[in-house]
Amino acid sequence: RERGGDLVFLTSTAAHDTYPGGGGYVAAKHAERIIANTLRQELVGEPVRVIEIAPGMVRTEEFSLNRLGSQEAADRVYEGVAQPLVAEDIAEAIVWTLERPSHVNIDSMIVRPVAQATNTLVARTAPEA
């Protein structure tokens, strides 16, 4: 704490809003967000930045597969979505927050693809016949 540092919390848009079927995930991400908010208050005045990055729809090889249990179900999450985010997009956002001058803290950054307005409102093209 005396030397300063950065704490980065990778939450989710689920930490900021709910959606049907996401009870456990939403609760965990809300809790993680509140831990970051609490630490920010407990460490105020110390040279420690507390940063939350909250991604929306990010297409990775494992996340939806692990969460939903099948490749078919995982593929449906991104079906018809033009350019969902990818892991590199989030990595770049994290790096950007850490590269700010030491007196600048990015409290919370929500990152979504253009096709996603909320956790449940996503623009999709019609499936190909």
Lowest mean pLDDT among 42-56, 61-75, 81-95: 61-75
Residue 127 has pLDDT above 70, yes or no: no
Write the CB contacts of 78 (distance below 8 Å, at least 6 apart in sequence).
57, 59, 64, 84
pLDDT band (50, 70, 90) for residue 128: low
Q: What is the pLDDT of residues 64-73, one digit of tens each?
A: 767 777 778 7
- Strands of 1-129 (E only): list them: 5-10, 48-55, 108-111
The top-level CATH class assigned to 5-111 is alpha beta
Tell me what pLDDT residue 74 has: 75
Do residues 70 and 95 make contact, with C-beta atoms less than 8 angstroms apart? no
Q: What is the pLDDT of residues 11-53, one digit of tens each?
A: 999 999 999 988 999 999 999 999 999 999 999 999 999 999 9
Question: Which residues carry out catalysis?
Answer: 25
